[in-house]
């Protein structure tokens, strides 16, 4: 009788351990659902780096276009001086 009782107790404890292990396995699976593999993450990083490199070139191209469109400071100052000279000649005959 004592042996049967101890075997039943051990069987109950083993069943509790099995339930705990199932719960732990389920939690591990659930936590891994939101994760990606290292290969996918590396592929994403390579894609982002490529896009950022392209954006850097586009920004550089835009800056060079703006510089090409704007007149140098000496041209603007020469225009201002010539307008002042024409105005001075018109006012003082």
| One domain for residues 65 and 22 | no
The reply to whether the predicted model has a pTM over 0.85 is no
Q: Which of 21, 23, 25 is nearest to 13 (CA)?
A: 21
Overall number of domains in the chain: 2
| One domain for residues 26 and 44 | no
pLDDT in tens, 28-39: 888 888 888 889
| One domain for residues 47 and 24 | no
Domain range for 61 is 40-93
pLDDT in tens, 43-66: 999 898 888 877 778 878 888 887
């Amino acid at each position: 009788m004592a042996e049967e009782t101890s075997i039943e107790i051990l069987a109950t404890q083993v069943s509790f351990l099995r339930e705990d292990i199932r719960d732990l396995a389920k939690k591990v699976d659930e936590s891994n659902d939101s994760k990606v593999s290292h290969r996918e993450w590396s592929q994403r990083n390579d894609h982002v780096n490529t896009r950022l490199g392209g954006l850097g070139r586009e920004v550089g191209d835009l800056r060079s276009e703006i510089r090409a469109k704007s007149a140098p400071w000496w041209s603007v100052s020469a225009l201002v001086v010539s307008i002042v000279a024409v105005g001075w000649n018109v006012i003082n005959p």
